[in-house]
């Protein structure tokens, strides 16, 4: 193509303005000395084109996608046009990518982009200040770098700590007979909710089974359940009796991966109690988080109130008849519970209302753990080993909607007793198990997700039921409303309102934005199934807009060398906003491969947006590539070798929220360089930050929270708790 940057020509050729208009010609000095480049997180370099100096998208035909400033909840001119400004029912989708929607208030017409991204008007408003303030997203820290303590923090801390070590699954058999995975009791006759209560109770018992009580988990609710179980002792779960107390204890901390170490060192219960942090270090527990966690738990073991005999005697798997009365009774007993640690308040203590189940916070690991054997060192292996033709018998709590027969993102656990399957978004870990031979009923999802499921997996449209955003529908007698989850295109969170009046909000994966709380005002949420991916204060990343601006400026800063190839990582779907905004702001086309284009065509981008993509590699020096190809310099070197003639410098952007955990707090990115390869790690996240989770939970104010992500390991929230307590 004529507009290709010539491989061997050092002279920068001005490309057609539509493609490379902002691309800077050479800087006056040190053009070849990469290390002398200005760090991009400083003052933005101005474009020669005065109309394109900042992140504000240039006027474009799709400018009408912006909400007018008169719309109360919408602002500002710097909101990317790919994002919509509110949410409302998409009742029909025409050829145009925008849909005009009449809300109840006719004056409040809003436009929704089919892409489905949300308008983060507040983010947009914050943009300038965030840049100036080093991407401060508004959270306050103390000198130690911790988020200031308040009840909301405690709420989430508690949420996290409670999510540790408890395995909340409900049992669903493939056959008529349904057994509790722990005590093997036949629970076929029980209702769905009762089964969950039963299984969860068993798991609570297993958690409390070690001879001494785990100091990290003085959950009064579990205590109350233990007391309830006294009245109804049945056989001990086999799983529990076969394991050594040390291993059980270890597992209860979510540190099963260190089982091998403890076995190798032949650490028995007495030895365990005498271990010091130094000992732990010497036997190979080098990670700070797990070590602290163990030390903390050990100190709890040495406490006099730990009553092992009693715990064992009481830790029998109970049948499911945990009645409201019993719960009330146990609740009244709680006041005198000796096991309670005031430092570990239940998250639900901060919320009004009575819990609907004995356990208010459930661990809902992404993978079931109930059937793990002692030798398993990773949950993944355990799952594989225990998988039943790919469909595990034990379905995590977060896949079940209490009070309904519905399943969410539960295709790994297909059963014949359910015919309503919801899919929150098209990411593998959520649709895994779904194949084109699916014949278990209907799949409910957004239009974008339905298109992808149809195209990529081959599910026929007859099996797919599109849920219109913001529109309440009745499915099997249950009101269902979905909202834009602001995660990836097509992602939704789903509100279930069963007849029992106990509404359940399943967030799917989501990135919080202020509008979300508006949708939910008025609805009392009983259970919140929450995406807790970054439920840890260390994950406190900037708003997406700030990161986008950082990337734009970084590209501008690095682009003075005309033989620079820019790579932006992305998933199958996800991170589109990042590279689309880069294209729009820099007014340069972005290369994507043909299969990616086909995918993007399903996402509901406008024609104007789509014009920024090209499948002709030579038309662009900004390429979108799979995220993992940027994971290491080794891989980047591989890419670099492919383009030796054409490019002399590779600048890659890895957008992931995990970046924020390992860099300084709220840093907009990390610049790493090896020779002619530069790699930026930028904290562009499509999950909520800890701060956002806090805010969301506070606003939704549910009675019960069911985490959808298992936060085990060094990053575990329990470790965070121990750090806060000590």
Phi, psi (rounded to 5 degrees) for 630: -105, 5
Whole-angstrom Cα distance, residue 198 to residue 202? 6
Decide whether 264 or 380 has the Cβ nearer to DNA: 380
Phi, psi (rounded to 5 degrees) for 178: -115, 125
Single residue of 38, 45, 273, 391 touching DNA by CB under 7 A: 391
509 binds DNA (CB under 7 A): yes
Decide whether 18 or 439 has the Cβ nearer to DNA: 439
656 binds DNA (CB under 7 A): yes
Phi, psi (rounded to 5 degrees) for 293: -60, -45
**Residues 194-233, mask of contacts with DNA (x by CB under 7 A):** ----------------------------------------
Single residue of 686, 692, 695, 703 touching DNA by CB under 7 A: 686
658 binds DNA (CB under 7 A): yes
Single residue of 211, 604, 657, 668 touching DNA by CB under 7 A: 657
421: which strand partners? 407, 443
Whole-angstrom Cα distance, residue 332 to residue 28? 76
385 binds DNA (CB under 7 A): yes
Q: How far is the CB of 322 from DNA (least distance, A)?
A: 31
Decide whether 15 or 657 has the Cβ nearer to DNA: 657
**Residues 482-501, mask of contacts with DNA (x by CB under 7 A):** -----xx-------------
Single residue of 48, 302, 384, 607 touching DNA by CB under 7 A: 384
Decide whether 15 or 574 has the Cβ nearer to DNA: 574
712 binds DNA (CB under 7 A): yes
Whole-angstrom Cα distance, residue 640 to residue 649? 8
HSE (CB half, 13 Å, CA atoms) of 663? 19
689 binds DNA (CB under 7 A): no
Phi, psi (rounded to 5 degrees) for 33: -100, 95
Phi, psi (rounded to 5 degrees) for 207: -65, -40
Single residue of 123, 204, 367, 715 touching DNA by CB under 7 A: 715
DSSP assignment of 558-612, as one string?
HTTSTTEEEEEEE-SSS-HHHHHHHHHHHT--EE--HHHHHHHTTTT--HHHHTT
Whole-angstrom Cα distance, residue 197 to residue 319? 9
Whole-angstrom Cα distance, residue 658 to residue 348? 28
661 binds DNA (CB under 7 A): yes
Q: Within positions 240 to 299, which residues make up the interface with DNA, using CB under 7 A?
A: 287
CB distance 529 to 671 below 8 Å: no
Decide whether 314 or 722 has the Cβ nearer to DNA: 722
Decide whether 36 or 416 has the Cβ nearer to DNA: 416
Single residue of 145, 338, 353, 390 touching DNA by CB under 7 A: 390
HSE (CB half, 13 Å, CA atoms) of 345? 12
Which parts of 253-302 fold into alpha helices (H)? 259-264, 269-274, 277-282, 288-301
Single residue of 533, 640, 689, 691 touching DNA by CB under 7 A: 533
Single residue of 632, 644, 645, 674 touching DNA by CB under 7 A: 632
Whole-angstrom Cα distance, residue 469 to residue 446? 7
Decide whether 130 or 287 has the Cβ nearer to DNA: 287
From the number of C-beta atoms within 10 Å of its C-beta (0-12, 13-18, 19+), residue 240 rates as buried
Binding segment for DNA (CB under 7 A), chosen from 132-140, 159-167, 332-340, 389-397, is 389-397
Helix (H, G, I), strand (E, B) or coil at 395: strand
**Residues 588-627, mask of contacts with DNA (x by CB under 7 A):** --------------------------------------xx
Comparing CA positions, the residue from 418, 412, 449 lying closest to residue 433 is 412
Comparing CA positions, the residue from 195, 162, 163 lying closest to residue 393 is 195
CB distance 600 to 592 below 8 Å: yes
**Residues 425-464, mask of contacts with DNA (x by CB under 7 A):** -xxxx---x-xxx---------------------------
Binding segment for DNA (CB under 7 A), chosen from 118-126, 221-229, 309-317, 656-664, is 656-664
679 binds DNA (CB under 7 A): no
Comparing CA positions, the residue from 73, 704, 5 lying closest to residue 401 is 704
Single residue of 96, 662, 672, 675 touching DNA by CB under 7 A: 662
Going by DSSP bridges, is the β-strand pair 564-570/169-171 parallel, antiparallel, or unpaired? unpaired
Angle in degrees, 0-180, between the axes of helices 324-334 and 220-230, rounded to the nearest 10: 120
Applying CB under 7 A, what is the total number of residues that bind DNA?
A: 45
Decide whether 57 or 254 has the Cβ nearer to DNA: 254
Helix (H, G, I), strand (E, B) or coil at 98: strand
In this structure, what DSSP letter does residue 311 have?
H
Q: How far is the CB of 661 from DNA (least distance, A)?
A: 6
Binding segment for DNA (CB under 7 A), chosen from 92-100, 380-388, 520-528, 667-675, is 380-388
Q: Where are the beta strands (DSSP E) in 85-229?
A: 98-101, 110-113, 169-171
User: N- to C-terminal Cα distance for the chain?
Assistant: 64
Whole-angstrom Cα distance, residue 37 to residue 45? 12
Decide whether 35 or 437 has the Cβ nearer to DNA: 437
Q: How far is the CB of 598 from DNA (least distance, A)?
A: 13
Decide whether 37 or 665 has the Cβ nearer to DNA: 665
Q: Within positions 555 to 574, which residues make up the interface with DNA, using CB under 7 A?
A: 571-574
Decide whether 57 or 655 has the Cβ nearer to DNA: 655
Single residue of 419, 610, 631, 724 touching DNA by CB under 7 A: 631
628 binds DNA (CB under 7 A): yes
Could you tell me how many residues make up the chain? Answer: 726
Binding segment for DNA (CB under 7 A), chosen from 135-143, 221-229, 327-335, 658-666, is 658-666
Binding site for DNA (CB under 7 A): 287, 380-381, 384-385, 387, 389-391, 426-429, 433, 435-437, 487-488, 509, 533, 571-574, 626-628, 631-632, 635, 656-658, 661-662, 686-687, 709-715
């Amino acid at each position: 193509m004529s507009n290709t940057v010539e491989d061997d020509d050092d002279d920068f050729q001005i490309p057609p303005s539509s493609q490379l208009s902002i691309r800077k010609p050479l800087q006056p000095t040190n053009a070849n000395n990469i290390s002398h480049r200005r760090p991009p997180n400083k003052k933005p370099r101005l474009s020669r084109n005065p109309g394109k100096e900042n992140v504000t998208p240039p006027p474009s035909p799709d400018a009408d996608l912006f909400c007018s400033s008169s719309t109360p909840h919408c602002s500002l001119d710097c909101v990317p046009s790919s994002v919509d400004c509110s949410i409302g029912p998409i009742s029909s989708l025409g050829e145009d990518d925008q849909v005009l929607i009449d809300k109840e208030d006719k004056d409040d017409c809003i436009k929704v982009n089919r892409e489905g991204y949300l308008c983060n008007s507040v983010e947009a408003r914050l943009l300038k200040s965030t840049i100036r303030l080093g991407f401060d997203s508004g959270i306050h820290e103390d000198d130690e770098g911790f988020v200031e303590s308040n009840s909301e923090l405690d709420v989430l801390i508690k949420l996290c700590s409670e999510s540790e070590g408890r395995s909340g699954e409900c049992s669903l058999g493939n056959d008529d007979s349904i057994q509790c995975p722990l005590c093997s009791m036949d629970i076929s006759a029980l209702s769905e909710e009762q089964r969950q209560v039963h299984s969860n109770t068993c798991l609570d018992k297993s958690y409390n089974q070690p001879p001494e009580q785990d100091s990290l988990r003085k959950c009064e609710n579990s205590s109350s359940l233990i007391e309830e179980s006294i009245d109804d002792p049945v056989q001990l779960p086999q799983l529990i009796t076969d394991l050594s107390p040390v291993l059980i204890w270890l597992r209860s901390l979510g540190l099963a991966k260190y089982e091998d170490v403890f076995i190798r060192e032949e650490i028995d219960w007495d030895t365990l109690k005498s271990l010091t942090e130094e000992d732990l270090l010497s036997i190979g527990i080098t990670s700070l988080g797990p070590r602290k966690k163990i030390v903390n738990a050990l100190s709890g073991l040495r406490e006099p109130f730990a009553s092992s005999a009693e715990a064992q005697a009481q830790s029998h798997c109970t049948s499911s008849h945990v009645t409201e009365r019993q719960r009330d009774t146990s609740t009244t007993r709680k006041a005198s519970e000796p096991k309670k640690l005031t430092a570990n308040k239940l998250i639900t203590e901060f919320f009004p209302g009575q819990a609907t189940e004995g356990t208010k916070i459930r661990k809902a690991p992404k993978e079931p753990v109930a059937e793990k054997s002692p030798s398993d060192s990773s949950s993944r292996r355990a799952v594989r080993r225990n998988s039943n033709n790919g469909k595990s018998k034990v379905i995590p709590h977060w896949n079940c909607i209490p009070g309904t027969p519905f399943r969410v993102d539960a295709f790994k656990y297909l059963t014949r007793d359910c015919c309503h399957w919801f899919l929150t978004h098209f990411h593998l870990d959520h649709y895994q198990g779904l194949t084109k031979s699916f014949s278990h009923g209907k799949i409910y999802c957004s239009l974008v997700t339905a298109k992808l499921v149809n195209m990529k997996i081959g599910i026929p449209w007859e099996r797919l039921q599109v849920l219109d955003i913001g529109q309440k529908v009745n499915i099997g007698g249950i009101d269902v409303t979905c909202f834009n989850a602001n995660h990836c295109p097509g992602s939704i969170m789903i509100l279930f309102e069963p007849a029992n009046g106990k509404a359940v909000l399943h967030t799917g994966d989501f990135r919080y934005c202020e509008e979300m709380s508006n949708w939910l005002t008025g609805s009392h949420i009983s259970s919140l199934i929450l995406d807790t991916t970054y439920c840890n204060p260390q994950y406190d990343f900037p708003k997406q807009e700030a990161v986008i601006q950082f990337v734009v400026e970084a590209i501008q800063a690095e682009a003075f060398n005309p033989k620079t190839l820019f790579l932006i990582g992305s998933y199958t779907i996800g991170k589109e906003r990042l590279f689309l905004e880069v294209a729009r702001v820099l007014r340069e086309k972005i290369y994507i491969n043909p299969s990616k284009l086909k995918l993007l065509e399903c996402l509901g981008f406008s024609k104007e947006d789509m014009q920024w993509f090209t499948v002709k590699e030579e038309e662009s020096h900004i390429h979108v590539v799979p995220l993992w190809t940027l994971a290491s310099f080794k891989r980047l070197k591989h890419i670099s070798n492919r383009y030796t003639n054409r490019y002399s410098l590779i600048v890659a952007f890895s957008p992931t929220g995990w970046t924020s955990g390992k860099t300084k707090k709220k840093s907009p990115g990390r610049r790493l360089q090896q020779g002619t390869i530069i790699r930026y790690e930028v904290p562009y996240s499509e999950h909520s930050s800890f701060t956002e989770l806090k805010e969301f939970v506070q606003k939704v104010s549910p009675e019960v929270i069911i985490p959808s992500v298992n936060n085990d390991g060094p990053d575990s929230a329990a470790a965070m708790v121990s750090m806060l307590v000590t």
